[in-house]
Amino acid sequence: MEHEFWLNKWQQQQIGFHLSAPHPLLQRYKDECFDSGPVFVPLCGKSLDMVFLAEQGHKVLGVELSETAVVSFFKERDLATEKEPANDLMAWRGGDYEIFQGDYFHLSSPALEQTRQVYDRAALIALPKPMRESYVEHLEKIMPPDFRVLLITLDYHQDEMSGPPFAVSEQEVRHLYQNAREIKQLRYTSIIDQEPSFREQGLTDLFQGTYFIQY
């Protein structure tokens, strides 16, 4: 997606992808998938999942294109922040959080050298198919070699809705993460009855997939 698409979404507060509570699947599978170390949240927005992770004792690192989202996150937590340039990005720090504001593809490995855990609820599904492979390739480049991912996806007939969020099947997950040692599907469930807005957009069904990926 073009940068302007997401920047405009935040500027106009068209952020239906922002959840008003921590994701229940993160709460369900966190202890199964993560140890007590830091967690990286790509394309993090101002997600309350980061708050949940911090409350559970994790240091949280994120990357987010929109400065509006980053400023809002810290302001809503009433956290004092400091910021400094980090190559082509701006590093914002406050409390247990460090968020790199700028292009995900400009994030480099030194920023994540102590981080071996990734939580992806809204990154992969936010990207059109041509960008998803580049996204995973960059993740493999910037993370330490033995990292793990808790991934949540949506899956539906892509011809029924243009996205975002985009449909990502189990087959595609296994293709994208083929370099991993283990890919385990934890859950795959229809959620169309809990998401009437997607039915209104023409979807006949909507599935949510949850995966644990270990490198």
- Annotated binding-site residues for S-adenosyl-L-methionine read 10, 43, 64, 121
Query: How far is it, in rounded angstroms, from Cα 129 to Cα 88?
Result: 25
Question: Which residues belong to the annotated binding site?
Answer: 10, 43, 64, 121
